[in-house]
Amino acid sequence: MEDQQSVLATLHPAKPSPGLAGTPIRTSFTTDQFPAWMNRHKIWIGTGVAGIALLTLLLLGWTAYAVQNRLIQSSGHSLVQAATDAASKLDTMVLERYRDIQLLSTAPLTLGQNPEALTSYLRNMAQAHPEYQWVGVTDSHGRIVAATDARQISLDRSQNRWFQLAQTLDRVGILDAQVQDESEGTSAFTVFAPLHSPDGRFLGAVAAVVGIPPLRHILDDTMQVLKNIEWTDASHLEYQLLNEKGDSIVDSTLREDGQPNVRQPESPSATMLKKQQQGFIQETHHRRGTPIVTAYAQVNIAHADPPLHWGILIHVDEASILTPIHSFLRELSVFAILILLPLFGLVLGMLKALYGEWAITKREFQRATEAESALRKRTEALDTLVVAAQTLSAQQDIDGLLHHLLQLAKNNSGARYAALDVYHDNSRKTTRFLAAGNDDQAAQAIQTVLLKQTAGESLGQESGIIRLNHLREHWTALEIPTAHAPLESFLGVSIRCQDQFFGRIFLANKITTQGLANCFSELDEQAVLTLAVQAGTAIQNLQLLHDSKEQARHDSLTGLLNHSATLTILAQELSRAQRTDHPVAVLIADLDHFKKVNDTYGHPVGDLVLRETARRLHETARRSDHVGRVGGEEFLIVAPDCDFHALQECAERFRIAISDKPFETTSGPLTITVSIGATIWSSEHPLNSERLRKMADYALYRVKSRGRNGINIVPHPNTSEADLIRKAV
């Protein structure tokens, strides 16, 4: 209000009359500053000056646009001519290689297939034409009989596409540029031809791999000519040679030899290249994002079968083309500013009087908008909380729930950084720490406190909302300077359900349309508190569900997997083995004479033996193994990625873990032995889970029939179970 009064006082130094109190504010000019006729016609003068200035700017803009368009058209035609010349040179170079192979395929030396003479000739040919990376001749079976690289003689090339095509063609063929084995993993195109005897028999094939560098040299020479005529080395002149699939054969921005072809983004120039023979277009560079002019021309290699259609793209930045006009416009702009600036000052002075009234209207409108925005935000927050509560309650795992809660809290509060510290069973010990957002200072401020045990306990004991002043108190207690990680705003809310404490949500640096806010609003606190309550209930429900599922899967006495869960794991591992072709071992361990333990010492001692057996088996097993109790004293072990030799060692470890150390019981130490039968699933002899268990049972039977306290492994079932049993008897 004071600013408004000062503006009005400046504009109206004299007190206005009562009759003019309601009239709009107008700018007052005195005759001390302007002549009388200008004071009477100041509105028309201002309008005329503004019109002349606008008309001048429009004329200058139109002229600059016309000159710029003419420069682009001229440069585009020059680029098109250069691309067309390069296309003609490329076609000529490919045609020369085509004719070389055509002559070579009919030469008596090639048809005679004298390896020594032919190899010498091919090497001389490669030395005379460095563009050949490899030249070779095969017999009718695809084996190399002569080549520029002697190491490849006798190699089988019957599976190469050029050899397979040569068997079906009666003329020279060309394969598009791709990574070839003969070119040592680099990109090249292949020219090949069949070899036929006078009576038409297929004798083999001759093939030449032509590298990419010759193509690049042609395009580099074209670029140098353009730089010498119209541009300089500082200009952004680039080129690309594409095949008809859109893969890059040569790219001036990717100079590394040996790189495989990459698919280029679908650009307007590439699209036009498929429709027209040649032309140019204005577009945006897909990597640098700068405006460019691209000329395109097709390279139609008609003598290939099928015909190859390559395309050449030559790019130049519009800035390089428009450098002369830009320099002229800069000089013209300086001159225009010196002339037009005083005129614009006159117009701005006339508009200054309207600013006061406009400012008042703006403030009133802003107050109404803020009130409407606050109401809308509360409505949106309520709707969002309803949806969030439904989403949190629908989560099926705790990790997904925690990540979703973190994002909901961050998005609904407008925080730049959010963190979630999860504790373990009301112990105030962190089990996991999740973070979202990119704010290093906020992350440092929060994590510094949480890494200190005393501060973590102190934060965990807070039952209400933690704000920035509470956080600074913890910093002071830890003797940390309050300015070590400056924060504008901070909010911490605990996640609880009834008396159980799960963790805390931390939010930092709230962002508004005006920038960083110095505090979180009351609406933010209410929204985050509501989310925390919903999350606490959802976490407790998921924990109860998880506990009930785990109890249903495990044996109540030993804590191992129960019978049904073990068979389910076995089916899952067999399904995975079928996909990966990795072996799976199945072991059945049975305690020897366990009935005597129950009959002699009682069931409490028997239960103790079973629990100790389960503990030893679980500790002996690998991390990837699965141990389950499938009967009274019978245990089933599933060992993924375990072959025959590893299974022997694995079974012996289990036997030693049980048999070599007495069991400490209330009736004294007891020596317990175990019999183990095992078998292996493999891709060569796939069996279902029932057959595998029967094979392991049969192996267990063989151990018991031989005196117990041992292991036996049934090999891969090359014979039937009846034959195995008959041989054992």
pLDDT tens per residue across span 419-441:
877 766 555 556 667 777 777 77
> In 36-188, which residue ranges form alpha helices assigned H by DSSP?
36-40, 42-106, 108-112, 115-128, 161-168
How much of the chain, in percent, has pLDDT values that exceed 90?
Answer: 13
Q: Tens of pLDDT along 612-623? A: 999 999 999 999
CA pair distance 326, 331, nearest whole angstrom? 9
The pLDDT of 384-408, averaged and rounded, is 68
Please name the helix (run of DSSP H) or strand (run of DSSP E) that holds residue 507, with its range, or none.
strand 500-512
Strands 674-681 and 711-713, sheet pairing = parallel
The pLDDT of 137-144, averaged and rounded, is 89
Residues 6+ apart with CB under 8 A from 378: 523
Per the CB < 8 A criterion, the answer to whether 635 and 629 are in contact is yes
The pLDDT of 440-449, averaged and rounded, is 72
The pLDDT of 108-127, averaged and rounded, is 83
Per the CB < 8 A criterion, the answer to whether 146 and 123 are in contact is no
The pLDDT of 279-289, averaged and rounded, is 82
CA pair distance 620, 649, nearest whole angstrom? 12
Please name the helix (run of DSSP H) or strand (run of DSSP E) that holds residue 176, with its range, or none.
strand 173-179
Query: How high does pLDDT run on average in the chain?
Result: 77
Of the two residues 318 and 20, the one the predictor is more confident about is: 318
- pLDDT score, position 650: 93
- pLDDT score, position 640: 93
| Residue labelled with tokens 């089988």 | 156
Per the CB < 8 A criterion, the answer to whether 276 and 304 are in contact is no
- Highest mean predicted confidence (pLDDT) among 255-259, 365-369, 631-635: 631-635
Q: How many CB atoms lie within 10 A of CB 633?
A: 20
| Topology adopted by domain 554-728 | Alpha-Beta Plaits (3.30.70)
| Residue labelled with tokens 């679908």 | 266
DSSP assignment of 509-536, as one string? EEEETTEE-SS--HHHHHHHHHHHHHHH
Of the two residues 330 and 102, the one the predictor is more confident about is: 102
Q: Is the pLDDT of residue 661 over 80?
A: yes
CA 286 to chain centre: 19
CA pair distance 116, 126, nearest whole angstrom? 16
- pLDDT score, position 484: 60
Q: Is the pLDDT of residue 548 over 70?
A: no
The pLDDT of 2-18, averaged and rounded, is 40
CA pair distance 459, 465, nearest whole angstrom? 10
The three-class DSSP label of residue 503 is strand
- pLDDT score, position 11: 37
Residues 6+ apart with CB under 8 A from 3: 359
- pLDDT score, position 663: 92
- pLDDT score, position 184: 65
Confidence of residue 411 (pLDDT cuts 50, 70, 90): confident
Q: Is the pLDDT of residue 5 over 50?
A: no
The pLDDT of 290-318, averaged and rounded, is 81
Asked whether the CA dihedral 514, 518, 523, 525 is positive or negative, the reply is positive
Low-confidence winner among 16-20, 63-67, 538-542 (lowest mean pLDDT) = 16-20
| Residue labelled with tokens 């200035």 | 53
The pLDDT of 97-106, averaged and rounded, is 86
Q: Report the alpha-carbon angle 147-149-153, nearest 5.
A: 60
Q: Is the pLDDT of residue 272 over 70?
A: yes
Strands 173-179 and 490-497, sheet pairing = unpaired
- pLDDT score, position 457: 47
- pLDDT score, position 13: 42
Q: Tens of pLDDT along 568-607? A: 999 999 999 889 889 999 999 999 999 999 888 999 999 9
| Topology adopted by domain 29-351 | Beta-Lactamase (3.30.450)
Confidence of residue 625 (pLDDT cuts 50, 70, 90): very high
The pLDDT of 364-386, averaged and rounded, is 71
Per the CB < 8 A criterion, the answer to whether 203 and 197 are in contact is yes
Q: Tens of pLDDT along 70-96? A: 888 888 888 888 888 888 888 888 888
The pLDDT of 515-530, averaged and rounded, is 77
One fold for 29-351 and 554-728: no
DSSP letter for 197, please: -
Of the two residues 252 and 426, the one the predictor is more confident about is: 252
Q: Tens of pLDDT along 14-42? A: 444 444 344 444 444 444 444 555 555 55
List Cα–Cα distances, 316 to 68, 280, 323, in angstroms. Answer: 15, 11, 12
Q: Is the pLDDT of residue 128 over 80?
A: yes
Q: Tens of pLDDT along 202-232? A: 888 999 898 878 888 888 888 888 877 777 7
Q: Is the pLDDT of residue 111 over 70?
A: yes
The pLDDT of 537-552, averaged and rounded, is 66
CA pair distance 674, 591, nearest whole angstrom? 4
List Cα–Cα distances, 531 to 7, 95, 402, 680, in angstroms. Answer: 49, 72, 11, 52
Please name the helix (run of DSSP H) or strand (run of DSSP E) that holds residue 484, with its range, or none.
none
CA pair distance 496, 532, nearest whole angstrom? 7
Q: What are the tokens at 478?
A: 């830890």
The pLDDT of 630-634, averaged and rounded, is 88
CA-based nearest residue to 628, from 569, 577, 572:
569
Per the CB < 8 A criterion, the answer to whether 316 and 75 are in contact is yes
CA pair distance 508, 415, nearest whole angstrom? 6
- pLDDT score, position 15: 42
The pLDDT of 357-366, averaged and rounded, is 75
- pLDDT score, position 521: 77
DSSP letter for 304, please: S
245 CB-contact burial (10 Å; exposed 0-12 / middle 13-18 / buried 19+): exposed
The pLDDT of 136-159, averaged and rounded, is 87
Q: What are the tokens at 284?
A: 């945006």
Low-confidence winner among 29-33, 131-135, 394-398, 442-446 (lowest mean pLDDT) = 29-33
- Highest mean predicted confidence (pLDDT) among 20-34, 451-465, 502-516: 502-516
- Highest mean predicted confidence (pLDDT) among 158-172, 219-233, 382-396, 642-656: 642-656
| Topology adopted by domain 395-547 | Beta-Lactamase (3.30.450)
Boundaries of every domain in the chain: 29-351, 395-547, 554-728
Backbone φ and ψ of 635, nearest 5°: -125, 140
- pLDDT score, position 148: 86
Q: Is this structure's pTM higher than 0.75?
A: no
- pLDDT score, position 28: 43
CA-based nearest residue to 207, from 104, 96, 92:
104
CA pair distance 328, 81, nearest whole angstrom? 28
Give, rounded to a whole angstrom, the gap between the first and last alpha carbons of the chain.
Answer: 110
Residues 6+ apart with CB under 8 A from 91: 299, 300, 301
Q: Tens of pLDDT along 683-727? A: 887 888 888 999 999 999 999 999 899 999 987 665 555 455 445
CA pair distance 384, 467, nearest whole angstrom? 24
- Highest mean predicted confidence (pLDDT) among 173-187, 200-214, 425-439, 465-479: 200-214
Confidence of residue 729 (pLDDT cuts 50, 70, 90): very low
> In 495-633, which residue ranges form alpha helices assigned H by DSSP?
522-553, 563-580, 594-601, 603-620
Please name the helix (run of DSSP H) or strand (run of DSSP E) that holds residue 703, with its range, or none.
helix 689-705
CA pair distance 484, 506, nearest whole angstrom? 18
Q: Is the pLDDT of residue 566 over 80?
A: yes
Based on its alpha-carbon atoms, the radius of gyration of the chain, rounded to whole angstroms, reads 43
Confidence of residue 386 (pLDDT cuts 50, 70, 90): low
